Amino acid sequence: MIKRIYFIFTLCSLSLMVFAQYPAPQVRYTSFVPNTNNIEIRWDASTAPGVSYYEVRYYYPPRPPLDDGWVKINGNINAAGDLSLTFDASTLTQANPLAEPVIVGVQAFDASGASLNTLETYTFDSTVYLTADYDSCQASVNLNWNHYRFKQWPQPGSVEYQVFISQDNGATFNYFTSVSNTQNNLQITDLETDRDYVLYVSAISENNPGEVANSNTVQVNTTMARLPEYMYANFASYGNKSAINLSFSIDPLSETSIYNILRSASVDGPYEQIEQVTTDEKEISYSDNIAFVNGPYYYKLEVVNYCGVNIRESENTASTLLLQRNGEAVQPELSWNSYQNWLGGVSHYSIERRFSNEVFTEITSLSDTIYTDSELETLVENNYPAKVCYRITGIESGGINTSTSNTICYELPVNIRFEYDAFTPGSGAGNETFGPTIDFIPDEYLFRILDRNGRKVYESRNAEDTRWDGKINGTLAPVGAYMCLLQYRVGGGKKHTIQAAVVVVQ
């Protein structure tokens, strides 16, 4: 009984050894059909006798290459027919050749369905899985793929990888470049932007030119964020609290949002970054808090792509108008720099003036950059304030943009004086009132008349109505000498005091 059992075991062992002594069919290549999801596998006939059909099986790491770990693809392939199989990669249920390399092998079977070989590790093949990453910062495409098993090709000779590219969605592929069989990556840096490309890699054997192992195809869109076609510096203008207000316009179709504001003390530079602004707005406003007296200043806008690279500057600069003061107080001479680089050029400069805290009013316009205000001499004794201020507004041709200069002020001579020291109130003689003559009115003003005992008999704080009619509480003042006291201040400056005497006569 023991011998019989041994005999049966020996037959089984012998049968397995017979089947196992034949190697698996040699896979010639496993290749994607370009621009499709189909995979073609072709192999040599098995050397085992009695082969009836073949089965193509697959597995993927980290599954070990054991017979019970392989998964069958589709049906049986007749041994008398074409030794190849083309299948859709999406039909694989436990692997995805479009997302990973997949190992493929072939088993031979006899008519009874018995396997004539195992899938040894030296006979299987794998797909070439290709990935592509587009680096918009460097405007390059990085290709990576797994190595093909070149050693399985009979007499492989010289082998390499060839890269093919299509610019028409895979309708036509053209050879692009080659790399050695030891390299499985490539950086492409000369693709056009805003294009759609399709690429694949082929493992090529010099001795077997008809046999190639193509990778899957990858699509690459080289679209980058749309840069602005134009950027304009609208103006640089002095505003409140001496800040310089800036305005820039950006192409509304631009897809960028990071900008540098640049400043220089010279129109020719160098320019330094004073602020980085992140915004999706196409009109950028900014206030530069810098002392205007160190100007004029010049400004540009610079666009930054999402990789932090400075790409382009505005087509023009914005410049400040720095108004300088010269000349005598009653004949101010104004001068300023020309506005630089308006796209439309400068139409003219508006000269604006105001007295004290009134609003600015245009007094003239010109194309020159110097002006003398001779009108002030004609305004003496006409109750104009003693503080006069000027500013210049540059106007772009077409009236699109304006730039306002800093404001400069002059203190005009008040020049207070008394034309006589005696008057005759109520006499009808023509000198019935008493008060000072003033060229220009000070900001603060106080005029008092005191009797010889120091008592106030008259007071006025209005320099435009400042004459004493010689009455005290509606009654003519007694004849005699009186003291007058006058105090004034211009523009918050020093307080001035004038004392004088006046005589009331009959």
Q: Please state, in angstroms and rounded to a whole number, the distance separating the CA atoms of residues 153 and 100.
A: 22
Contacts of 28 (CB under 8 A, 6+ apart): 42, 43, 44, 153, 208, 211
Cα distance between residue 60 and residue 208, in whole Å? 27
The pLDDT of residue 62 is: 60
Maximum C-alpha span of the chain: 171
- C-alpha span between 196 and 199 (Å, rounded): 10
- Identify whether the C-beta of residue 132 lies closer than 8 Å to the C-beta of residue 141: yes
Strands 38-43 and 444-450: unpaired
Per-residue pLDDT of the chain (506 residues; tens, 9 = 90+): 333 333 333 333 333 334 446 888 888 889 999 889 999 999 999 999 999 999 999 886 665 555 557 889 988 999 999 999 999 999 998 888 999 998 888 999 999 999 998 876 555 678 999 999 998 777 789 999 998 876 566 556 668 899 999 988 888 999 999 999 889 999 998 788 778 899 999 998 877 777 889 999 999 988 877 889 999 999 999 987 678 999 999 999 998 999 999 999 999 999 999 999 999 999 999 999 988 777 899 999 999 987 788 889 999 999 999 999 888 878 999 999 999 999 889 999 999 999 987 899 999 999 999 999 999 999 999 999 999 999 999 999 987 899 999 999 999 999 999 988 999 998 887 889 999 999 999 989 999 999 999 999 999 999 988 899 999 999 999 999 999 999 999 877 889 999 999 999 97
**Could you give the 3-state DSSP secondary structure of residue 13?**
helix
How far apart, in whole angstroms, are the C-alpha atoms of residue 98 and residue 129?
7
What pLDDT shows up at residue 150? 61
Place of tokens 């994607």: 32
Residue 18 is encoded by which pair of tokens? Answer: 């017979």
CB 88, CB 36: distance < 8 Å = no
Torsion of CA 29, 35, 39, 42, to 10 degrees: -30
Question: What confidence score (pLDDT) does residue 125 get?
Answer: 74
**pTM summary value:** 0.63
| Count of beta carbons in the 10 Å neighbourhood of residue 378 | 8
Residue 68 neighbours by CB under 8 Å, 6+ apart:
none
pLDDT of residue 8: 31
Read off the tokens for 324. 């300088």
**CB-based contact 84:112 (threshold 8 Å):** no
DSSP codes joined into one string, 114-167? -BS----TTT-EE-B-EEEEEETTTTEEEEEEPPP-GGGSSS--SEEEEEEEES
pLDDT score at 17: 38
Q: What is the pLDDT of residue 7?
A: 32
Q: Which amino acid is at 126?
A: S
Segment 374-396, tens digit of pLDDT: 999 999 999 999 999 999 999 99
